[in-house]
Amino acid sequence: MQVKTFFFGLLCCGTMYAQQAITPEVLNQLSNQGEATPAERALQNAIQSNGINKMALVGNNQQALDTWFSVEVKNTGISNQESSGRCWLFTGTNVLRQRAMKNLGIEGFMFSHVYTFFYDQLEKSNLFLQSIIDTRKLDIDSQQVQWLMQNPVSDGGTYTGVADLVMKYGLVPKDVMAETYVSNSTSEFNSHLKRKLREIAINLRERSEGGQSVKQLEAYKLEQLKVVYKMLVMAYGEPVKEFTWAPKDKNGKLLSEPKRYTPQSFYKEVCAPEEDLNADYVMLMNDPSRPYNKVYEIDMDRHVYDGHNWLYLNLDIDDLAPLAIASLQDSVPMYFSCDVGKQLNRANGLLDLNNYDYADLLGTTFGMTKKQRIQTHDSGSSHAMTLVAVDLNKDGRPTKWKVENSWGPTYGYSGHLIMTDEWFREYMFRVVVNKKYIPENILSLLKQKPIRLPAWDPMFSDEN
C-alpha cells in the first residue's frame, strides 16, 4: 500500500495532472500545447501526404554505395523466395549450394526448395500432432497447449530445421522438382493446413478424454497424416524418390553421363558427406538481454519430432564477429539472421543507422539500447540471409558486411544487402559457424548444460 501511495504521489506532483483515465481535463492539457507554427503545419502536411519513410530519409546519406569488400565469397546467384516465408530454407540451401557448385565444377546451380519444403510441412504437422498427444493431460487453456494451437505449422523456420531435413531427406536439383504457384505464395494453403491440423488436434484430445490409449491415438494420427500428405501433394507435388541427372554448363550442355540418384545419395555426393550439419556447426547469438557465454535451448522449437531443438551459444558481439570473419576469410559463407526491416533503404539495399531520421521528423527521441529493444518486443530476428562478405580496415576491424538475399536479383544491390558495422552490431542476431573457425576457449562453453527457454519466448519466432 505504501508503494502505491508513493507512486500516485509522484504522478500528482508532475507538471501535468495525472490519473488512471484520460478525462476531459487531461485531454485538454494534452491538446492545449499552443498553436502550430507555419513550419510545423507544413511538416504535418508533408508527412500526411508522403508517409514517414519518405520524409525521414536522410538526403546526404544517399551517395553511391561503397561496394568494395576486402573479403568476399564468390557470388553463386540470387534466389527468390517469392511470397513465402521460406528465407531460412533458401539461406540454408544457398550455403550448401556454394559447396555443391564447387564440387560439381559448375555455375548457375539451384537446389529444389519445394522438395525440402514438402517434408518440412509434413514433419511439422507430425511434430504438432504428436505434441498434442504428449500434452493430452494438460488443460486446453494451459500456456503450452495454447501455444501449440496457435502455432500448428508455419512456413518460417531456422537453421536447425535445414540441418535436420537435409540430413534426413537429402536434396534434389531445382530442375528435378520445380516450384509451384502455392510454394511461391504459401499463405492461402497454409491457412487451410492449419485449420485441418487444429481439427485433428481437437479430435485427438477428445479421444484421449474418452479413454483411448497412446497407441490408439498414434494410430489415429497416422491415418490423419495420410490426409495431410495428400493435401501437401495437391499443393506442392509428389516428392521425387529417384531421378536421373547430370551437371550442365552455362549453355545447357551436359558435362558428364547422367546418373541415377536418390535425394540422399545426391546430397552425399555433392555436399561433402563427411560433415554433420548439426554436430559440426554452432549457432551463435548476440542477445544482450541474457547473460553471455551461456548455452540456451528452445523447448519444442524444432522442425522434426525426432530432430534437434534450437540450441545456441550467446556471445558478446566482439567475440562473435571475429568468428564470422574467419569463416569468410576461408571462403565459406554462413547462415545469418537479423532484424532486416530496421533502417533499411529498400531502394539501394543499404542497412545503415543513418538512413532515416525519425527523431527529428517526429520531434522526439528513440533511444533504447539493443537489450531494451529485445526486452520490450521492439526488435528480434525476422529474416535469414547468407553472409558472404566483410570489409576490414587497416587494423583488421570490420567496417561493413554484405549478405546474399533471397528476394530476387533486382532487389537492393543486385540481390544483396550491404550493412554498416554499426548496423550489424545493433540488429544482427544469429550466425551459424563451422566449429573449425571457433577457438577452443569458446567451443568449451558448449559443454555446459543448456538453459531451457519456452517455445513462446518472443526472441525465438521463426525467420521468414
Burial (CB count within 10 angstroms: exposed 0-12, middle 13-18, buried 19+), residue 96:
buried
Out of 94, 151, 355, 405, the active site residue is 405
Q: Is 405 a catalytic residue?
A: yes
Q: Is 12 a catalytic residue?
A: no
Query: How far is the C-alpha of 250 from the C-alpha of 306, rounded, in Å?
Result: 40
Structure letter (DSSP) for residue 458: G
The angle at the Cα of 402, spanning 155 to 61, to the nearest 5 degrees, equals 110
Nine-digit cell string for 337: 539472421
Residue 335, classed as helix, strand or coil, is: strand
Per-residue exposure over 298-328, b if at least 16 CB sit within 10 Å of its own CB, e if not: bebbbbbeebbebbbbbbeeebbbbbbbbbb
Out of 87, 113, 126, 345, the active site residue is 87
- Residue 417 identity (one-letter amino acid): L
Residue that is written with C-alpha cell 533502417 in the block: 343
Angle of helix 113-134 versus helix 159-169 axis, rounded to 10: 100
Q: Are 352 and 56 in contact (CB under 8 A)?
A: no
Residue that is written with C-alpha cell 549453355 in the block: 251
Q: Is 87 a catalytic residue?
A: yes
What single string gives the DSSP state of each residue in 352-400? Answer: -TTSB-HHHHHTS-----HHHHHHTTS----EEEEEEEEEE-TTS-EEE
Which residues, 6+ apart, have CB-to-CB distance to 210 below 8 Å? none
Tell whether the torsion through CA atoms of 237, 241, 243 and 246 is positive or negative.
Answer: positive
Out of 113, 271, 314, 383, the active site residue is 383
Backbone angles phi, psi at 36, to 5 degrees: -65, 145
Backbone angles phi, psi at 240, to 5 degrees: -70, 145
Catalytic residue positions, numbered: 87, 383, 405
